[in-house]
Amino acid sequence: MAKKDLISKKLEDYNDVFADIYNTLLFQSPTIIPEQLEAAPTESLYKTDSQGLKLQNRDILKKYQNDAHLAISFLGIENQASIDKYMPIRIMGYDAGTYKQQLKDKKRPIIPTITIVLNMADQKWNAAKSLHELLSIDKKLASYVQDYKIHVFDIAFLDNKTISSFTSDFKEIAKFFKKKRLGLNPLDSDSRLSHPREIMEFISVFTQDTRYSDTVQYLENLEKEGGAATMCAIADALILEGIRKGRLEGRLEGKLEGRLEGRLEGKVELLYEMGYTTTEICQKLDIPEEQVKSILQSQSL
pLDDT averaged per 10 residues in sequence order, the chain, 301 residues: 64 96 97 95 63 72 89 95 95 93 87 96 96 94 95 98 97 96 90 93 90 87 89 82 58 52 68 72 82 80 53
* Residue where one domain finishes, among candidates 187, 207, 229: 187
pLDDT at 69: 80
Q: Is 44 domain-assigned? A: yes
Number of domains in the chain: 2
- Same domain for 158 and 277, yes or no, is no
- Same domain for 274 and 165, yes or no, is no
Long-range contacts of 105-108 (CB under 8 A, 24+ apart): 108/71
Write the DSSP assignment of 9-30 as a string of letters.
HHTTTSHHHHHHHIIIIIISSS
3-state DSSP call for residue 64? Answer: strand
The answer to whether the beta carbons of residues 61 and 41 sit under 8 Å apart is yes
Q: Give residue 290's domain range.
A: 261-301
Q: In b/e form, how buried is each residue of 56-87, taking b as 16+ CB within 10 angstroms?
A: eebbbbbbbbeeeeebeebbbbbbbeebbeeb
Tell me the HSE value of 151 on the side-chain side, using a 13 A CA sphere. 14
Q: Is 176 domain-assigned? A: yes
Q: Is 46 domain-assigned? A: yes
- Same domain for 175 and 46, yes or no, is yes
Q: Is 220 domain-assigned? A: no
Those residues with Cβ within 8 angstroms of residue 124's Cβ, 6 or more apart along the chain or in another chain? 154, 157
- Same domain for 124 and 36, yes or no, is yes
pLDDT at 1: 45
- Same domain for 163 and 77, yes or no, is yes
* Residue where one domain finishes, among candidates 135, 169, 187: 187
The CA–CA distances, whole Å, from 99 to 55, 105, 128 equal 15, 11, 23
- Same domain for 21 and 157, yes or no, is yes
- Same domain for 140 and 7, yes or no, is yes
Q: How buried is 252 (Cβ within 10 angstroms: 0-12 exposed, 13-18 middle, 19+ buried)?
A: middle
Q: Is 158 domain-assigned? A: yes
Q: How many CB atoms lie within 10 A of CB 217?
A: 11
Q: At what angle do helices 278-285 and 264-273 cross, to 10 degrees?
A: 140
* Residue where one domain finishes, among candidates 187, 213, 231: 187
Write the DSSP assignment of 121-151 as a string of letters.
SSS---S-SBHHHHS---TTTGGGSPP-B-E
Specify the DSSP class assigned to residue 59. Answer: S
Alpha-carbon distance of 1 to 170, in angstroms, equals 23
Those residues with Cβ within 8 angstroms of residue 175's Cβ, 6 or more apart along the chain or in another chain? 163, 186, 189, 231
The alpha-carbon radius of gyration of the chain (Å, integer) is 24
Q: Is 174 domain-assigned? A: yes
Q: Tell me the pTM.
A: 0.77
Q: How many CB atoms lie within 10 A of CB 238?
A: 17
The answer to whether the beta carbons of residues 109 and 144 sit under 8 Å apart is no
The answer to whether the beta carbons of residues 23 and 62 sit under 8 Å apart is no
